[in-house]
A and B are shown apart, each in its own frame.
Chain A
Amino acid sequence: MEKPQAAVSMRNIVKTFGKGVYANRDVDLDIYHGEILSLLGENGSGKTTLMNMLSGIYYPDEGEIFINSKPVSINSPKDAYELGIGMVHQHFKLVDVLTAAENIVLGLDGALDLNKAKEKIREICARYGFEVDPDKKIYSMSVSEKQTVEIVKVLYRGADILILDEPTAVLTPQETKKLFEIMRNMKKDGKALVIITHKLAEVMEISDRVAILRQGKYVGTLITKNTSPKEMTDMMVGRKVELGIERPEPIDPKLRLRISNLSVTDAEGIQKLKNINLDIYSGEILGIAGISGCGQKELLESVAGLQKVDSGSIIYYDDDGTEKELVGMDPVKIKELGVALSFVPEDRLGMGLVGDMDLSDNMMLRSFRDGKGVFTDRKSPHERAEKIVKQLHVDTPGIETPVRKLSGGNIQKVLVGRELYLRPSVLMTAYVVRGLDINSSYTIYDLIVFQKLSGTAVIFVGEDLDVLLQISDRVCVLCDGQVNGILDGRKAEKSEVGLLMTSLAENHESVSEPAYAKTGSDPEKEGGN
């Protein structure tokens, strides 16, 4: 059989940033019509850079690009569109106050005829199974709707080569499923698709072939159905990697936090949490599952003293059994109470770190009150930053580098490192590995498990159910602001969790719980013994 003509061929692509920093080195890649190619690699392995050269954002230093066997030169996103290449970036490029239709026609020439545009948008939607309201403003859309607009935008321009940069990172399992269906429709339609992802399960599910990059170099291409996650990981990392997460039994679990009847209403008057009852024990990891926006953020922020609470109580139990009410406290007062609470928020550079400050100043955010008189203590944060860089292998030019210049994984290491340094008795993490590559993710998991072993009560909000079920001792499933079940992490099934995430159970009592959660639930009794 004759070999089909490649939609895109990249040959000997080299791209450097600055002097001698290779983002891509001698990369060869073929993309065919009617197939889905996964581009796999760790953070900083040059996947996005490579695809940015196809979409006209960067220009290669060396090498050639062929579209349908013709050599081309792509100097701008406009050139790329003209060649039928469209890329959906990880950070959406949409204007919030404009409607979907206005965003889709942005940058095109000719008279502005929105009615005609809307018609064409509806046509595209019907063809591939999208659901988009062309008149809806972007700011009132969910993440997945925004992503749909991005994909439609690319198709509107007539792209038949689509590049999706980590499209599933922000989606719920259900939304991911829908996206994959659409991708399969596009594949059937003869489009060439490239998906950049970290999630091996998704690579296995959606792609026909996997191209693997490591440190900017092309390692090889595998046929998906003939490979395994293990083989892909080994190729990606370049050595054997253990993919398991350790889950030791909790050591001497004691009640640490008791949340009772907690209700929270947000600024718009929508009830975010309804009568939450939840106990958290020292030495355990409590996983929180739920589709995005069902109250995870409010729950963590209530405990951290950042969220106004309507009613209910959050009691913190000291090692000696003293009770401390956290409701109505702010972070400063909680610290003054002697409660060592650490919070790794979802929004790293918004809530966790200050992007323009360097590593040691970011350490100081937690200790700026220390020091003599009016002067701050600058020396110990500096030492702490150095230690964290060394211990967590943070890849940074120096302690004085502004953190926003680091890659996502390294930013997260700095944040997690800072929070763990405080030896918290309660550690809360939200989407702690979002956007991180496999190696960094597992480093972070290890750190969290280590915290658990040293007796910290860990609340772990995650989106990857596989990981959540591997790391958690108990899994609390939130649905619509309510606790919809608490499962034993060792026994729970993914499908069970998925069901609880999407539909409220009639009886929201705990389905199953480990022994310590039942017997050790009364600290007063224990203190009396």
Chain B
Amino acid sequence: MTGFLSFIPRAVGQGIPLLFGCTGEIITEKSGNLNLGIPGVMYVGAISGVIGSFFYENSVGEGSMNAFLAIMIPVLCSLLGSFLMGMLYCFLTVTLRANQNVTGLAMTTFGVGFGNFFGGSLIKLSNLDVPTIALSKTSSYFSATLPFAKNLGWFGEIFLSYGFLAYLAIIVAVAAAMIIKKTRVGLHLRAVGESPATADAMGINVTAYKYFATVLGCMIAGLGGLYYVMDYASGVWSNDAFGDRGWLAIALVIFTIWRADIGILASILFGGLYILYLYIPTGMEHMELKELYKMIPYVVTIIVLIVTSMRNRREDQPPASLGLNYFREER
């Protein structure tokens, strides 16, 4: 039972970055943009926040930090970083009509490199022996929980033991699902992703919707990177630590059949799969099995992709013009 109790919060902790990434990508894909740059965007979101809080911590000193600024500076830096990534992607694919796949992959390469470059620079600046930056004070603000949560036993452990970004992720996912499904903006967004020519003829500004959805999606995804560093990793940045969570987030979009509300459970499930290997006893003699168990989320992803591609209900299909750029003049 204690094993299970400690497993759930860790699975959720692993799942939240995936949820941010997944929600962001769902909003983006609903507009017909297949943004494969999400892994890079999440890196940029993370490192931008780290840069902001690094300079804030260093300039005022740990003792005199203001809780509000300690949260707002990294959040705004992170949003700005991923906003710029989103604008870059849109400028290339919507305005210049570059191939979406190539642009996305290039942005992932760029984003990961960007993160590692500035991460490395900050590590140099901080003159530490270990190749990491520890922003423990900032992290303590991000991972602060309700003061009475600890007194509530298993309930507090499972539901109330997370920092505010985790709850934000769930609120954003629910809100995204509602907006896409119920509102006029959501209807128009779906129309843009399904058939931009139709949307255009009905007087919907296709370019604006694509820009807005993609940039917003990037900003949400970027928060996933920030959550990972500030809360999950306790403020410790080390290069490449974020790993391939961005790709899992993209795979989750297919798994959830483009529904942000399903994404909440799916990302926690995948978060659990991601760390499941730690909970499968192997004994000391067979440590190599652990490496095999690490494959579980990827194996499940492949199985899920196979299963989802066999479904053929029209409502469960990707937006019809996903990955295609829209030219008004084209016949």
Please tell me if A368 contacts chain B, counting CB pairs below 8 Å. no
In whole angstroms, what is the CA distance A111 to B195 when docked? 22
Interface string of B181-196 (1 = CB under 8 A from A): 0111001101100110
Chain B residues near A106: list those with CB within 8 A.
187-188, 191, 198-199, 202, 204
In whole angstroms, what is the CA distance A110 to B331 when docked? 31
Chain B residues near A81: list those with CB within 8 A.
203
- The number of inter-chain residue pairs (CB within 8 angstroms) is 64
Interface contact B194-A107, CB-CB below 8 Å: no
Chain B residues near A97: list those with CB within 8 A.
190, 194, 314-315, 317, 320
Chain A residues near B184: list those with CB within 8 A.
105, 108-112
Which residue of chain B has the shortest Cβ distance to A407 in the bound complex?
Answer: B331
A window 78-106: CB within 8 A of B = 78, 81, 89, 93-98, 102, 105-106
Interface contact A93-B197, CB-CB below 8 Å: yes
In whole angstroms, what is the CA distance A98 to B319 when docked? 11
In whole angstroms, what is the CA distance A106 to B198 when docked? 9
Chain B residues near A258: list those with CB within 8 A.
none
Interface contact B195-A94, CB-CB below 8 Å: yes
Chain A residues near B197: list those with CB within 8 A.
93
Chain B residues near A167: list those with CB within 8 A.
none
Q: Tell me whether A93 and B314 are in contact in the complex, defined as CB-CB below 8 angstroms, given that A106-B187, A106-B204 are known contacts.
A: no
Chain B residues near A95: list those with CB within 8 A.
190-191, 194-195, 198-199
Chain A residues near B187: list those with CB within 8 A.
98, 102, 105-106, 112
Please tell me if A247 contacts chain B, counting CB pairs below 8 Å. no
In whole angstroms, what is the CA distance A213 to B189 when docked? 39
Interface contact B198-A93, CB-CB below 8 Å: yes
* Shortest distance between the CB of B328 and any CB in chain A (Å): 9
Interface contact A94-B198, CB-CB below 8 Å: yes
Please tell me if B201 contacts chain A, counting CB pairs below 8 Å. yes
- Residue from B190, B199, B320 in contact with A107 in the complex, judged by beta carbons closer than 8 Å: B199
Please tell me if A76 contacts chain B, counting CB pairs below 8 Å. yes
Please tell me if A404 contacts chain B, counting CB pairs below 8 Å. yes
Chain A residues near B203: list those with CB within 8 A.
76-78, 81, 107
In whole angstroms, what is the CA distance A102 to B202 when docked? 12
Please tell me if A11 contacts chain B, counting CB pairs below 8 Å. no
In whole angstroms, what is the CA distance A112 to B201 when docked? 19
* Shortest distance between the CB of A82 and any CB in chain B (Å): 10
Please tell me if A516 contacts chain B, counting CB pairs below 8 Å. no
In whole angstroms, what is the CA distance A365 to B266 when docked? 46
Interface contact A107-B202, CB-CB below 8 Å: yes
Chain A residues near B183: list those with CB within 8 A.
112
Please tell me if A139 contacts chain B, counting CB pairs below 8 Å. yes
In whole angstroms, what is the CA distance A102 to B190 when docked? 11
Interface string of A38-81 (1 = CB under 8 A from B): 00000000000000000001000000000000000000111001
* Shortest distance between the CB of B324 and any CB in chain A (Å): 14
Interface contact B320-A93, CB-CB below 8 Å: no
* Shortest distance between the CB of A406 and any CB in chain B (Å): 10
Which residue of chain A has the shortest Cβ distance to B320 in the bound complex?
Answer: A96
B window 167-189: CB within 8 A of A = 182-184, 187-188
* Shortest distance between the CB of B51 and any CB in chain A (Å): 41
In whole angstroms, what is the CA distance A109 to B188 when docked? 10
Please tell me if A137 contacts chain B, counting CB pairs below 8 Å. yes
Interface contact A77-B331, CB-CB below 8 Å: no
Which residue of chain B has the shortest Cβ distance to A89 in the bound complex?
Answer: B201
Chain A residues near B331: list those with CB within 8 A.
404-405
Which residue of chain B has the shortest Cβ distance to A102 in the bound complex?
Answer: B187
Interface contact B188-A107, CB-CB below 8 Å: yes
Interface string of A401-417 (1 = CB under 8 A from B): 00011000000000000
Chain B residues near A102: list those with CB within 8 A.
187
* Shortest distance between the CB of A219 and any CB in chain B (Å): 26
Q: Tell me whether A96 and B314 are in contact in the complex, defined as CB-CB below 8 angstroms, given that A76-B203, A77-B203 are known contacts.
A: yes
In whole angstroms, what is the CA distance A346 to B197 when docked? 24
Interface contact B191-A139, CB-CB below 8 Å: no
Chain A residues near B204: list those with CB within 8 A.
106-107
Chain B residues near A105: list those with CB within 8 A.
184, 187
In whole angstroms, what is the CA distance A246 to B63 when docked? 99
In whole angstroms, what is the CA distance A108 to B183 when docked? 12
Q: Tell me whether A77 and B202 are in contact in the complex, defined as CB-CB below 8 angstroms, given that A96-B195, A112-B184 are known contacts.
A: yes
Which residue of chain A has the shortest Cβ distance to B194 in the bound complex?
Answer: A95
Chain B residues near A98: list those with CB within 8 A.
187, 190-191, 194
- Residue from A77, A109, A110, A137 in contact with B201 in the complex, judged by beta carbons closer than 8 Å: A77
- Residue from A76, A94, A112 in contact with B182 in the complex, judged by beta carbons closer than 8 Å: A112
* Shortest distance between the CB of A59 and any CB in chain B (Å): 13
Chain A residues near B195: list those with CB within 8 A.
93-96
* Shortest distance between the CB of B92 and any CB in chain A (Å): 22
In whole angstroms, what is the CA distance A93 to B200 when docked? 9
Give the interface centre of B198, B314, B320 by most chain A CB atoms within 10 Å: B198
In whole angstroms, what is the CA distance A494 to B183 when docked? 51
* Shortest distance between the CB of A525 and any CB in chain B (Å): 50
Interface string of A130-156 (1 = CB under 8 A from B): 000000010100000000000000000
* Shortest distance between the CB of A58 and any CB in chain B (Å): 11
In the assembled complex, 5 residue pairs joining A and B whose CB atoms fall closer than 8 Å, in A order, are: A57-B201, A95-B199, A96-B195, A107-B191, A107-B199
5 nearest A-B residue pairs (beta carbon): A107-B202, A78-B203, A112-B184, A93-B198, A107-B203
Chain A positions within 8 Å of B, measured between CB atoms, are 57, 76-78, 81, 89, 93-98, 102, 105-112, 137, 139, 404-405
Q: Other than the known A106-B198, A106-B199, what 5 A-B pairs have Cβ atoms closer than 8 Å?
A: A57-B201, A95-B190, A98-B190, A106-B191, A106-B202
